[in-house]
Chain A
Amino acid sequence: QVQLQESGPGLVNPSETLSLTCTVSGGSISSYFWTWIRQPPGKGLEWIAYISYTGSTNYNPSLKSRVTISLDTSRNQFSLKLSAVTAADTAIYYCARTVAGKVNNYYYHMDVWGKGTTVTVSS
């Protein structure tokens, strides 16, 4: 069974860069799309970005200027970097395997999720 595990610092200083890694086990990262999602405390889900197995990316317009997503096929990992963080970036960050494409219409669903990692932005 494919499993995803997020890792990274739980505390980040304001104005610095948040860096997270998602490690994929039980399957190859060289297929599917891979997504980052976050959930602020007590709030709903927010889509951050995806990267495909070919390396193509798409970012949430509200975060695009601060976000970079990358893929490391040799380590079966993909990563998220979010720069110039503020307290508003405090959230649980999830990574997810994603099935996506277009057959007449777009389909995009996240079928395997990591357990999430809590990131707090504070000095």
Chain B
Amino acid sequence: QSALTQPPSASGTPGQRVTISCSGGTSNIERNAVNWYQQLPGAAPKLLIYNNNQRPSGVPDRFSGSKSGTSASLAISGLQSEDEGDYYCAAWDDSLNGRELFGGGTKLTVL
């Protein structure tokens, strides 16, 4: 099973709403929980959304997640310059012995 599929780049201006898609299959996104990680330049990844649409404590409600069938999306509203970085989707793939799959990452640029 290859990585989940994300667009390599996305962009928006401050205040705009941006969405990032993540495409997978039945054995991962459709059946299991989807998570999103934010990686700011030079930093470790940080959990942004878990269990499809839950925000950890401290994550602003500008960030939201959704899932439908074999696809998931991350939406960022009220885009801010500090949101610029890489975003990864992830889900457990339960084929064979199981493993965690990541998307290839989307580089978000705030224009």
Contacts and interface: CB of A to CB of B under 8 A. Distances in A.
A113 B46 contact: yes
B45 A113 contact: yes
Interface string A49-71: 01000000011110000000000
Contacts, number: 73
B51 A109 contact: yes
B100 interface: yes
A110 B44 CA distance: 12
Nearest to B100: A47
B24 interface: no
Contacts of B98: 58, 106
B3 interface: yes
Contacts of B97: 58, 61
Given A44-B102, A45-B88, A109 B44 contact: no
Interface residues of A, number: 25
B95 to A, nearest CB: 10
Contacts of B47: 109-111, 113
B44 A106 contact: no
Contacts of B102: 44-47
A105 B103 CA distance: 20
Interface residues of B, number: 28
A92 B95 CA distance: 27
A35 interface: yes
Interface string B1-20: 00100000000000000000
A114 interface: yes
Nearest to B105: A44
Contacts of A44: 3, 88, 102-105
Interface of B: 3, 31-33, 35, 37, 44-47, 50-51, 56, 88, 90-92, 94, 96-105
21 contacts: A37-B45, A44-B102, A44-B105, A47-B100, A59-B99, A60-B99, A94-B44, A99-B50, A106-B94, A108-B32, A108-B91, A108-B92, A108-B100, A109-B51, A109-B90, A110-B37, A110-B45, A111-B56, A113-B46, A113-B47, A114-B44
Interface of A: 35, 37, 44-47, 50, 58-61, 94, 99-100, 105-111, 113-116
